[in-house]
Every structure is written in structure tokens, then in C-alpha cells.
Structure 1
Amino acid sequence: MKANILLAALLATASVAAQAAPKDESIGPYAGAEIGRSNFSLSSSLPVTASDRSGNALKIFGGYNFDQNFGAELGYTRFGSFSETATVGAVATKQDGSARSFYGVGTARANLTESFGVHGRAGISFGKVSGTNVLPAANDLTGTKRSLLVGFGADFRVAPNITLTADYDHYGKLSNNVKANTFMVGARVNF
């Protein structure tokens, strides 16, 4: 009988404590957007006379935090456009392109203070480069490629469910001859 009373008292205390504890807004689903700059690495065996290898980038993403430290994320990144002028024979030939990626990553986060933390991500990027191709196949910048995506960043919680973010991500190859990375800032909202 005393054991039942003690058990009931412990359960009641735990129930009251659980109801009184504030909900951790960082656990559960989230969505966000970031804007910034992309940098392209274009590989070509031809002499390049001019190039524009950076663009305006946009990332839209959503995910789920399983706890304060680990989660999963899916997203879409638009890298903007690039151009390159190469010499084929004695003729200058210009290629223009734009790139995008769908990705899926696992995320990890560490709190440095109550509001400030650092995070990392690793997963797979499904890249695609579209545009004009007037060069030989070995120098074609267009195409699709799966690559390892790795990134890191910092975040600052400005409200219980709103976080400002700054991220650097390396998407690997988006096609056989194009690699990309981004530096972006944005915001994330937890639901």
C-alpha cells in the first residue's frame, strides 16, 4: 500500500513538472530561407579568356530536429548564373549557364550560449547545370551530378521559434565540369 502511494505521488510530481516545463521550440519541424553568393569552379582544358564565376544564390529548406543536437533537412538551392569565354582554335566562344541543387542532409548543432550556436550538415546534393554548350564534350559545363554536400554555420535565436542563420556550404560537383559553394544568411522558423 505504501509503495502504491509513493508511486502515485512520484507520477503526480513528474506530471506537474512536465506540464510546467516550457516547450523547447528548437525541437520539431522547421522551415527557412537564405540568400547570398555562390562561387563556381569551372574546369576546362581550353584557354579561358574571360569568366564570371559568381552568382546570387537562394536556398529554401525544411527539416526536423529530433532533439537539440541532431536533425534532418531537405532543400532547394538556386545558385544563379555564370559565364565563361574559351578559345577554340582562334575563335572566342562563350558559354552561359545556371545551376541548381536539391539536397538531403543530416544536421548537427552545438549550443555555445542559450541563444548562439554552431551547426554542420552532411549529405547528398543532386545538382544540375543548364545553359548553352558550344564546346567539345570534354569541356561541356552542362549536365547533372550527385555529390557529397558538406557545410557549417552559426545561428542566433532572436525569439523562441525564430533563428537567424549564416552558412557556408560546399555542394561538390553539379555537373562533370562545374563545382559550387555558397555563403548565405537567412532565417529559420520552428513550428
Structure 2
Amino acid sequence: MKKTIFIAMIAALAAPLAAQAEGAYIGGNVGRAEQKVNVEGYSFKESTTAWKLYGGYNYTQNFGVEAGFADLREAEKSGNGARIASEPKSIYLAATGTLPLNEQFALFGKVGVATTHVKVTGSAPGFSASGSDNRTSPYIGVGASFALNKNVSFVAEYENFGKIAKDGGSHIKADFVSAGVRYAF
């Protein structure tokens, strides 16, 4: 009996939210994340396949908000018995702006903040070290969308997560080029 009442209460509370859901969307992207690592004057770039999940709400045709989680995957460089690797995961919140070009095509931009957790490991013959860093940095993104129908759109975008880790003169920067599908309610 209590379970039925609880489910009825959730349904009663969710009904007004579902009615107001127009403008809400969810999506997922897959693409290439690039990490630029600079450690004590030694620098390299490494690209890996990465993914993200996100959701947002468009208050108007032109303005909204978006939050998401991006797994930028592990990037590593090794040689001569040495290895360095970083594995960032980021959560972001951004204001969005959309410029519709016609009924199907639109350009969009995002500006906000990203909080990134990065695990870093390094090893060389006779040496091994690891650590992690949490860093909040500016987040920007630009992209384009193609509306297949009222609910489904294909998106392509570029996102810059800024300096995702920093320790003295060493730092890691990350960006992400991806394509995906967005579903609007």
C-alpha cells in the first residue's frame, strides 16, 4: 500500500514537470580528445577516443543552459623505458547561445566552467609516481546542429576545457572534437 502511494506521489509531482519539459534535451557524443602535456619543459600531444553525456534546457530559441560529463580517456606517451599517462574526467556547466540558420541547421556556442579530475602516472627505470588533481577552469564550446525532425538532431562540436591540471610549471590542457545525437523533449 505504501509503495503504491509513493509511486502515485512521484507521478503527481512528475506530471507538471513533464508538461514543462519542452525545451529540455539530452544527448551523447563520441570523438577525439586531445591532451597537451607540458612537464618540466618536455611537452607532447596525445589524442584518444572519448565520449560525453549531457543535458540542457533552452529557455528561448536562442538562449539556454547545459550540463554534462565528459570522459576524455587516458592519454599516454612512452619511450626508452619511461611512461607518462593522464586520465581526465570533467563535469561542466555552461550558458548556451543558438543561432538558427533555417528550419534544420543551427550554430551554437557555450561558455561556462568545467571541473576536472585528472589522474597522472609516470614511471621510468627505478622510478614510479602517481597523483591526481582537481581543477576548475573556463570552458568554451562551438558547434553546429542538424535537426532530423522535431526531436532528434545531429551535432558536431569543438570544446576546450582549458588547463585541466597544473603543478608549478607543469600543466595539462584538453580539448574535444566530437559528433553525436541530441534528443529534445
Structure 1 and Structure 2 fold alike (TM over 0.5):
yes
Q: What's 2:23 paired with? A: 28
Greater strand fraction, Structure 1 or Structure 2: 2
Provide the C-alpha distance between the structure 1 equivalents of 2:115 and 2:36, rounded to a whole number of angstroms.
17
Is 1:133–1:141's contact at 8 Å kept on the other side of the alignment? no
> What displacement does 1:44 show?
1.5
Larger Cα Rg: Structure 1 or Structure 2? 1
Deviation at 1:129? 1.0
The 2-side partners of 1:178 and 1:149 are apart by 14
Aligned to 2:74: 81
Summarize deviations over 1:24-81 as a string: whole Å, max 9, x none.
Answer: xx95111000000001110112546xx6611111010001000100000110000111
The number of aligned residues is: 157
* Distance in 2, Cα, partners of 1:119 & 1:190: 15
Question: What's the offset of the Cα at 1:114?
Answer: 1.1
CA deviations on 1:95-118 (whole Å, 9 max, x unpaired) are 222111000000000011111010
Equivalent residue for 2:144? Answer: 154
Residue number in structure 2 paired with 1:100: 89
CA deviation digits over 1:98-148, x for unaligned, max 9? Answer: 11100000000001111101000000010111142459xxxx884121100
Q: Which residue of 1 aligns with 2:158?
A: 168
Letter aligned with residue 23 of structure 2: G
- The two structures have a TM-score, normalised by structure 2, of 0.77
- Give the alignment partner of residue 57 of structure 1, picking from 42, 50, 58: 50
Q: What amino acid does structure 1 have at the position aligned with 2:172?
A: V
Residue 182 (structure 2) pairs with residue 188 (structure 1):
yes
**8 Å CA contact 2:50, 2:73 repeated in 1:** yes
**How far apart, CA to CA, are the structure 2 residues paired with 1:119 and 1:27?**
19
Query: Does the 8 Å contact 1:42/1:141 carry over to 2?
Result: no
Q: Percent identity?
A: 28
Long gaps (5+) in structure 1: 1-25
Distance 2:148 2:98 in 1: 17
Structure 2's unaligned 5+ residue stretches are: 1-20, 125-129
Structure 1 ranges of 4+ moved more than 2 A: none
Contact 1:172 1:180 survives alignment (8 Å):
yes
Kindly indicate whether residue 34 of structure 2 is the aligned counterpart of residue 39 of structure 1. yes
Aligned to 1:8: none
Letter in 1 for 2:74: S
CA displacement 1:137-176 (0-9 Å, x = unmatched)? xxx8841211000110000000111110000000001111
Counterpart residue type for residue 112 of structure 1: L
Q: Report the CA distance shift for 1:132/1:180 in structure 2 as closer, same or farther (over 3 A).
A: same
SS of 1:43's partner is strand
